[in-house]
Amino acid sequence: MENRQVIVVGGGLVGALTALLLAQKGEYIHLIENKDLISPLENSPFDLRVSAFSAQSKKLLELAGVWNLLPKNRLCAYQRLQTWEKGSEKLCFDSTEIGLDALGYIAENRWIQAVLWQSLKSCANVRFYEGREVRTLHNADSGVSVYLDNNQRIDAQLLIACDGAKSAVRGLLNIAITAWDYRQHCMLINIKTDAPEQNITWQEFRESGPCAFLPLADNNASLVWYHHPQKIKYLNSLSKVQLKKAIIEEFPVLPFAFSVQDNGSFPLTRRHAQRYYKGSCVLLGDAAHTIHPLAGQGVNLGFKDVQCLVELLENSSDLPIPVLLKRYEAKRKPANLLMQTTMDLFYKSSKCELDSLRLLRKGILHLAQNSGALKKQVMRYAMGL
Ligand SMILES: Cc1cc2nc3c(=O)[nH]c(=O)nc-3n(C[C@H](O)[C@H](O)[C@H](O)COP(=O)(O)OP(=O)(O)OC[C@H]3O[C@@H](n4cnc5c(N)ncnc54)[C@H](O)[C@@H]3O)c2cc1C
């Protein structure tokens, strides 16, 4: 790779991984993050924002050398996954069916971000602009210049926007998005159980939206409850004791005693940028696409964007940046659209808007459960393999 000057805007999971992988390949990185990062503590309560990382995402984090930096007491591997429609047959996946130790891993977003930043801080070729934002941007095929909110100027050959769903860079570039709000909100509830660490994640589809269980390290877990926005608002207004009662009465049965530790809710919006690059600037992760989180694929798609761009920069360094970015868009846009559309199909069918869609989903689940080859294929796809 050439030793290019690269601006990365946004130091979340996608931006921090991009910055680290490129820095390790010798690029000179300017990392602009508008928040001050607070390092999490190993004994602090679990944060609500957790993600399921696929085997492929784990590989990328290993490649960046950060996977082993994650404290063991903040990481949970799951070997089994079950999904079913309320009252119907269960579709069960087991990592042993494809000869792997785990189907995926659940960790807090803030811990993944923290180990990425820890490694970034030891790179001599990374310059940090923390608590800063891009105010103006001059973009051309030959390069890009930005002015920060303190009037500091940075020039680079490439700018990578990883500043999340409401990307300010996307706005400065005048890249339009196609977007709509799902008629569902999502409630995240962290619980402590009286059972040992679980190795299973599951999701029940209901007319009002899915209900999911994600195991966390030790005797912790995350419940994900999708419902109409008014219902989620109501659930969020309850005390922890009242919320526990609602979970016992309305959520799928949990086979252990538990206490509610923390809860919060999120609106859900689908967004897709109409283009992924302009001149010498490119969008990655949530800045380019957000999807319904029912299959936990958001950050995994973002990591695939990272892998694709880093490989293109490494393997085609003789090409002009705009040509390379065009190839990135051609690879990632259709793949992200396919995943968004698949999630929308599951969302629409679970909302029971069309009986035919619900039947289709049931049919797919039944077929997948009874066809060994298809099931393994689905498992490999979900794991990013
Ligand atoms: C309820 C819920 C559950 C989810 N569960 C899963 C899951 O199980 N698995 C999964 O794969 N995905 C999941 N996702 C999706 C996943 O969280 C996101 O796809 C992922 O966090 C996106 O990472 P990102 O780095 O692209 O964006 P972000 O995480 O939003 O990071 C953006 C970064 O840019 C910074 N920033 C923002 N604006 C500026 C600016 N103007 N200037 C400088 N910096 C800026 C922010 O401070 C932040 O650090 C879930 C999403 C939701 C809402």
- Three-state DSSP class for residue 173: coil
**Of all atoms in ligand 1, which is nearest to the CA of residue 214?**
8
Distance of CA 218 to the CA centre of its chain: 23
* Pocket test residue of 18, 20, 31, 34 for ligand 1, highest count of atoms within 8 A of CB: 34
Q: Looking at domain 5-74+104-179+270-355, which of 3.40.50.1390, 3.40.50.620, 3.50.50.60, 1.25.40.340 is its CATH number?
A: 3.50.50.60
**To which residue do tokens 């298809």 refer?**
374
> How far is the C-alpha of 177 from the C-alpha of 161, rounded, in Å?
15
**Of all atoms in ligand 1, which is nearest to the CA of residue 133?**
42
> How far is the C-alpha of 271 from the C-alpha of 125, rounded, in Å?
33
Answer for the pair 73, 33: CB distance below 8 angstroms, yes or no.
no
Share the mean pLDDT of the chain.
92
CATH topology of domain 182-268: D-Amino Acid Oxidase; Chain A, domain 2 (3.30.9)
Q: Whose Cα sits closest to atom 38 in ligand 1?
A: 163
**Of all atoms in ligand 1, which is nearest to the CA of residue 32?**
43
Task: Give the Å distance between the CA of 165 and the centre of ligand 1.
Answer: 7
Position 18 scores a pLDDT of 98
Q: What is the pLDDT of residues 49-99, one digit of tens each?
A: 999 999 999 999 999 999 999 999 999 999 999 999 888 888 899 999 888
**To which residue do tokens 């957000």 refer?**
290
Q: φ, ψ for residue 52 (rounded to 5)?
A: -90, 120
Q: What is the pLDDT of residues 271-307, one digit of tens each?
A: 999 999 999 999 999 999 999 888 888 999 999 999 9
Q: Looking at residues 101-111, what average pLDDT do you find?
A: 95
Say which amino acid occupies 150.
Answer: N
Q: Whose Cα sits closest to atom 9 in ligand 1?
A: 296
Position 1 scores a pLDDT of 60
- Three-state DSSP class for residue 214: strand
CA dihedral of residues 324, 325, 326, 330 (deg, nearest 10): 100
Position 79 scores a pLDDT of 96
In the chain, residues under CATH classification 3.30.9.10 are: 182-268
Per-position b or e across 45-55, b if 16+ CB within 10 A of its CB:
ebbbebbbbbb
Q: Which of 238, 39, 42 is nearest to 121 (CA)?
A: 39
Query: Ligand 1 site: residues with CB under 6 angstroms?
Result: 9-15, 32-35, 51-52, 109, 133, 162-164, 168, 186, 188, 266, 285-286, 293, 296-300, 302
> How far is the C-alpha of 66 from the C-alpha of 60, rounded, in Å?
9
Angle formed by the axes of helices 321-350 and 298-315, nearest 10°: 160
Structure tokens at 280: 């010498």
In the chain, residues under CATH classification 3.50.50.60 are: 5-74+104-179+270-355
Q: φ, ψ for residue 264 (rounded to 5)?
A: -170, 165
Q: What is the pLDDT of residues 336-371, one digit of tens each?
A: 999 988 888 877 766 555 566 666 666 666 666 666
- Cβ-proximal residues to 244 (8 Å cutoff; 6+ apart), any chain: 258, 259, 260
